[in-house]
Structure formats: structure tokens, C-alpha cells
Chain A
Amino acid sequence: MQAGVQASHNQITIDDVCLADIPQIIEIDSEITKIAKPELWYSYYAPAGRSQPRWFLVAHEDARVVGYILGEVRAWEFGSPPCGWIFAIGVSPDQRIGGIGTRLLDAMIERFRPTGVKTIRTMLHIDENVLMSFFRSQGLAAGPFIQLEASIDL
């Protein structure tokens, strides 16, 4: 039961990512996850060899990146009909509770819509309370798939 602090925003725009945004995305992700992953983020930026439609969007406040979202339509993996996967979403911690995550997700859904998918899906760590609350507030709930794993030395 924490008190939320409403971040105040100047004009926020949602745009397709550009190369110059990547270092700021790496910084936000690293601030959230405490691990810097430059190779990963540059690889997401590189569109080469992709067969599935993918979108990488950023929220800009003036020239500053304050959030990002990565989504892709994937079909028939794990037996699932085509669906829009949200692989990553992040908002700069000092800019939260201002609707930026909602705008990013809405923008991604609008990219998914023309492809004909009827479902969006994501996967997150069970202890990620804040992120799970965010997705639930957007109407997402447990679906028909369940993730199972084991140590490889089972």
C-alpha cells in the first residue's frame, strides 16, 4: 500500500525507435533490471532476417526517451494461434504513474490490430508485482498457457 507520486509530463509522443534512442533505452532498462544489456537492445533494433512483424516503439518527452515497448506477432509457437506478444515494456522510474505505459501499450495494440490478431500476451516474473499490476490494470489476466521449467540437471 504505497502512496503513488504522479509524474508531471511535457508533451509525450510515441514514435518508432531510432538508433539514437538505443543508449537511453539501455539506460532505462539497466536502471529497472540492474543489468545493462547493450547487445540485446541493439539486436532488437536491427531488423535483419525477421519473418514476423515486429514493432519497437519509444515514448519521447521532447528528445528524451522516457519509455519503450517491444512487440511482435507470432504464430503457432506452443500451438498458439497468431497473437501479439509484448516482449518488453519499460518506463523511466521518475516518469511513472503518468500514463506513459498505457500509451505505449495502446500504440502497440494499434500496430497489432491490422494483422488480425485478437489476443495480446506477455510473460513476466512472478515477483514483478509492479509490472504485473500494470498489465492487469490494462485488462490482461492469466490465459490458457502456463509456463513450466526445470533445471537441466533434473
Chain B
Amino acid sequence: MKLNQSTRLAIWSIVELASRPGEQVPVNEIAQIYGISQHHLAKVLRTPSRAGIVGSTRGPGGGCEFTGNANRLTLYDIVQLFEGDREEEETPEVPSTPVAAEVARVLMEIDRITTATLKSVTLQTIIRNAERKEERRKEASRKTAPAGETDMADGVEPASEKA
């Protein structure tokens, strides 16, 4: 799906913040994770900040914090902040031929699926699904790794070494 660059950056950073509840995350840290300009990201984050879903604190130890409800906020809500309400977009005038009407119907079909998808995905769903995939990946590496190497693969000391 084609989204404005600002919308895409906002989705990345808001989900990142929502995955770290209660944490003040420096903008430069998010910019580094996603390989984007800190200056541009700071500008992008002004919009969700005005909407009350991102808060920021200046000074040492300061940063940005997610202040919305991750269980309720959907991708649609973020897209809407940057690109307006897709459902209220005016349908462009099309020539009144059967072919033009059929093209318009197909484009509306695509829009309807896109909107339904964006509205059904909450930030918490993205975070939870990412965690699930990570757990599965670790589980799979535990099953395939030779005995004794499994815990190290997850960055955890083997129990025998701890003792």
C-alpha cells in the first residue's frame, strides 16, 4: 500500500513507542532503529503529539512516550491523522461510460479492503503478533540448535554456567 513517507514514519515510531509503555524513548534512538533523519522524525511526531497520543519530555532522560490506548488505536487512526479520512474522500468525477463505472467500482473495492484492514489492526495487535513471531523463532532455533547451544542462541546463559 502506498502511504506518504510521514505516515509510514509515524506508524513505525508510534508502534515502537507503544511497544515500550511508560518508557521515555529519545527520538534519535527511534530514528536510528529505522534509519531515518532525527530532524524529520521530530517534525512528523508533532502531529500525533497534537492528537494526544505521543507525549514528550525535554532534558536529560527525556524523550517521547506513547500516551494513547494501544488496544484501541488502529492503523487507520494514524493514517487518518496524516492523510485525512479515507471514507470522507470525495469520489473523483469519472466519465459516465460503462467502462469508467466498472473501473471506479474496482478501485472502490480496493479502497474498501484497505480501509477495513487498517481499521481492524490495533497497535497492540501488531506488538503482540511481533512478539508471537519472535517467540516462535526462538522456539524453532531451540529445536534445531545442538544441545547446549540453545540458551546461548537467545542471549541467555545456559543454566549450567549460571550455577
What is the interface of chain A, defined by CB distance below 8 A to chain B?
1-4, 126-127, 129, 132-133, 136-137, 139, 142
Contact = CB atoms under 8 A, between A and B. Distances in A.
B125 A132 contact: no
A92 B129 CA distance: 26
Interface in B81-120: 112-113, 116-117, 119-120
B120 A1 contact: no
B77 A139 contact: no
Given A4-B71, A139-B132, 10 more contacts: A1-B73, A2-B72, A3-B72, A129-B119, A129-B120, A133-B74, A133-B119, A136-B120, A136-B121, A136-B129
A127 B116 contact: yes
B38 interface: no
A126 B116 contact: yes
Interface in B132-158: 132
B122 interface: yes
Interface of B: 68-69, 71-74, 77, 112-113, 116-117, 119-122, 124-125, 128-129, 132
A105 B33 CA distance: 35
A140 to B, nearest CB: 10
Contacts of A137: 122, 124-125, 128
Contacts of B128: 137, 139
A136 B125 contact: yes
Contacts of A1: 68-69, 72-74, 77
A129 B120 CA distance: 6
Contacts of A2: 72
A133 B120 contact: yes
B72 A132 contact: no
B33 to A, nearest CB: 24
A129 B72 CA distance: 12
Contacts of B71: 4
Contact of B113 (A4, A126, A129, A136): A126
Contacts of B117: 142
